[in-house]
Amino acid sequence: MSDPLEGDAPCKGCGKVTTAHDYRVQMFRNDKYEYTLCRACDRGRRERAYADTGVLTTSLWLALTLEHREQWDHPTLPFLVSMHRIMDAAASFGRDIWFAGGLQKFFRESKYAAFSMSDTASSFRVLMLASAGRALFTFSGTSEQSVTLITDETSATARMGVQGIDATESEALTLIAQGKTLWESGQRPVVDREVGF
């Protein structure tokens, strides 16, 4: 068999041989290759994980958005309802904090582009980065959960949306609410040279 990282590799789920040109996910543990999954088996793995845990991931969010785009404006499926609630919270952060709350003004008046805010009473943190006309905000908590929002850095129109996620609906809503509370309490971002891509 060829090198599974560069050439053909069988899918652990269905046995289909994948090539380097196929969509495939290669799983590693401790920097050591373990196995490959084809697109269909990877999708099944992510959907089972969501059914078991309720955790939405960025790749699952994108797949669900594309697959169910005809239902997007009138969601009835539970995961679409959850996604809409999270997007509503993102839009609220954009309206209330980025625009009306002065965070956009703070960014535009600063000569720096990377900031963070932390809640000293918990492990909650917001990482902020402005780059190439976009502003990104990653909210993270005490464990592995996080949600990243994105907006147009200079627009006067509210455009805040979800860029990435690894959290349940409840966790994502809590993280975004904590970010709003931190700003509303008067705390301001500090320059953070460790924030970046």
Averaged pLDDT for residues 20-28: 87
Q: For residues 93 and 174, state if they share a domain.
A: yes
**25 part of a folded domain:** yes
Q: For residues 92 and 153, state if they share a domain.
A: yes
**62 part of a folded domain:** no
| Band of residue 39 on the pLDDT scale cut at 50, 70, 90 | confident
The structural domain count of the chain equals: 2
Q: pTM of the predicted model, to two decimals?
A: 0.83
H-assigned helices in the chain: 39-53, 58-67, 78-93, 103-109, 169-184
Position 169 scores a pLDDT of: 96
Position 89 scores a pLDDT of: 97
**26 part of a folded domain:** yes
**60 part of a folded domain:** no
Position 2 scores a pLDDT of: 60
Q: For residues 90 and 24, state if they share a domain.
A: no
Nearest to 147 by CA among 90, 67, 65: 90
What are the pLDDT digits (tens) for 100-132?
999 999 999 999 999 999 988 888 999 999 998
